[in-house]
Structure 1
Amino acid sequence: MTHFGIVARIAMIVTAAMVISQVAVLLSYLWQIERSPLPPFAVANRIAAVVRLLDRTAAEDMTDVLAVASVEGFHVSVLSHVPATFEDQPSTARMRVMVQRIIDGYSPDRLVRSGQVDPVRDESVAAIDFAVELGTGDVAMFSISDDTTLRLFNIPLGFLAGLFGIAVAVIAVLAVARETRPLARLSKSIDELGNRIQPIEVKEVGARELRTLIRAVNNMQERIFGLVGNRTLLLGAISHDLKTYLTRFRLRLEMMPESKHRDRAVTDVDAMEQLLDDALLFAGDAYSNAKIETIDLNIIVDHCVSDTNMQTGLVSFAATSVPLEVCIPERALRRVIDNLISNALRYGEHASITTEKKNGAACIVIEDDGPGIPPSDLSLVFEPFFRGEPSRNRAHGGSGLGLSIVRQILDAYGGTITLSNRPEAQGLSAAVCLPLANGPEAHHHLNLTRAG
Structure 2
Amino acid sequence: MTRFKLPLRLALIIAGGLVIAQMLMTAAYFTDRRLNGEGVAGSMATQVGALAQLLDRLPEPDRALALDAVSGPGFRARIAPQPETGETKRPPLLERVPLLERLIRAQLGKNDPREVTVVLDTAFGGRWIPMMLSWPARELRMTVGLADGRFLLVRARGELTARLFGVPVGLVAGLLGIAVALATVLAVRRETRPISELSAALDRFGTSLEPQRVEPRGAPDVRRLAETFDAMQRRIVELVRNRSLVLGAMSHDLATYVTRLRLRIALLPEGPQTARAQRDLEEMQALLADTLDFARGSFTGRDGASTDFAALVAEECAGREAEGAPVHFSAPSVPCRVAAAPSALKRLAANLIGNAIAYGGRADVSLMRDGDAVDLVVEDRGPGVPEAERERVFEPFYRLDASRSRETGGAGLGLTIVRQITDSIGGTVGIADRPGGGARVTARLPLVAD
Q: Tell me which interval the TM-score lies in, with the shorter structure as reference length.
A: 0.5 to 0.7
Deviations 1:304-363 (A, max 9, x none): 112112223311112222222223222211111110011111111121111121121222
Q: Could you say which residue in structure 1 is the equivalent of 2:55?
A: 55
TM-score by length of 1: 0.66
Q: Is the 8 A contact 1:370 1:428 kept in 2?
A: yes
- Residue 169 of structure 1 and its aligned partner are, at CA, apart by 2.7
- Residue 57 of structure 1 and its aligned partner are, at CA, apart by 3.0
The one of 303, 308, 321 equivalent to 1:296 is 308
**For 1:63-212, what aligned pairs fall within 5 Å after superposition?**
102-103=79-80, 147=159, 150-157=162-169, 159-212=171-224
Q: Could you say which residue in structure 2 is the equivalent of 1:431?
A: 442
- Residue 47 of structure 1 and its aligned partner are, at CA, apart by 9.5
**Alpha-carbon separation, structure 2, partners of 1:355 and 1:172:** 50
Q: Could you say which residue in structure 2 is the equivalent of 1:14?
A: 14
Matched residue of 2:445: which SS?
strand
> Alignment identity in percent?
38
**For 1:37-436, what aligned pairs fall within 5 Å after superposition?**
52-57=52-57, 102-103=79-80, 147=159, 150-157=162-169, 159-285=171-297, 288=300, 293-388=305-400, 396-422=408-434, 424-436=435-447
> Kindly tell me: are residues 169 and 378 of structure 1, through their superposed partners in 2, closer, same or farther at Cα, counting changes over 3 Å?
same
> Kindly tell me: are residues 289 and 246 of structure 1, through their superposed partners in 2, closer, same or farther at Cα, counting changes over 3 Å?
farther
**Alpha-carbon separation, structure 2, partners of 1:259 and 1:290:** 49
Q: Is the 8 A contact 2:240 2:298 kept in 1?
A: no
**Alpha-carbon separation, structure 2, partners of 1:251 and 1:55:** 133
Deviations 1:257-312 (A, max 9, x none): 33333222222222222222222222234865997543322221121112112223
> Kindly tell me: are residues 414 and 266 of structure 1, through their superposed partners in 2, closer, same or farther at Cα, counting changes over 3 Å?
same
- Residue 397 of structure 1 and its aligned partner are, at CA, apart by 2.7
Deviations 1:359-402 (A, max 9, x none): 21222111001111111221221111122368999871311010
Matched residue of 1:275: which SS?
helix
Q: Is the 8 A contact 1:271 1:399 kept in 2?
A: no
- Residue 166 of structure 1 and its aligned partner are, at CA, apart by 3.3
Q: Which amino acid aligns with 2:309?
A: L
Q: Is the 8 A contact 2:302 2:424 kept in 1?
A: no
**Alpha-carbon separation, structure 1, partners of 2:404 and 2:372:** 34
Matched residue of 1:434: which SS?
strand
**Alpha-carbon separation, structure 2, partners of 1:391 and 1:187:** 43
Which runs of 4 or more aligned residues in structure 1 lie more than 4 Å from their structure 2 counterparts after TM superposition? 9-13, 15-19, 45-52, 77-83, 124-127, 142-146, 286-292, 389-395
RMSD (Å), alpha carbons: 4.4
Q: Is the 8 A contact 1:371 1:391 kept in 2?
A: no
Matched residue of 1:381: which SS?
helix
Q: Is the 8 A contact 1:179 1:206 kept in 2?
A: yes
Q: Which amino acid aligns with 1:57?
A: R
Deviations 1:161-214 (A, max 9, x none): 443343223212211211221111112212332211321211223234422321
Deviations 1:72-116 (A, max 9, x none): xxxxx9779979xx9x99xx9xx98xx66x53669xxxxxxxxxx
Matched residue of 1:166: which SS?
helix
> Kindly tell me: are residues 161 and 230 of structure 1, through their superposed partners in 2, closer, same or farther at Cα, counting changes over 3 Å?
same
TM-score by length of 2: 0.67
> Kindly tell me: are residues 158 and 297 of structure 1, through their superposed partners in 2, closer, same or farther at Cα, counting changes over 3 Å?
closer
> Kindly tell me: are residues 153 and 258 of structure 1, through their superposed partners in 2, closer, same or farther at Cα, counting changes over 3 Å?
same
Matched residue of 2:443: which SS?
strand
Deviations 1:40-69 (A, max 9, x none): xxxxx999986553221379xx9xxxxxxx
**Alpha-carbon separation, structure 2, partners of 1:232 and 1:428:** 32
Q: Is the 8 A contact 1:360 1:435 kept in 2?
A: yes
Q: Is the 8 A contact 1:204 1:214 kept in 2?
A: yes
Q: Could you say which residue in structure 2 is the equivalent of 1:42?
A: none
Deviations 1:236-261 (A, max 9, x none): 11111111111111112222233333
- Residue 222 of structure 1 and its aligned partner are, at CA, apart by 0.9
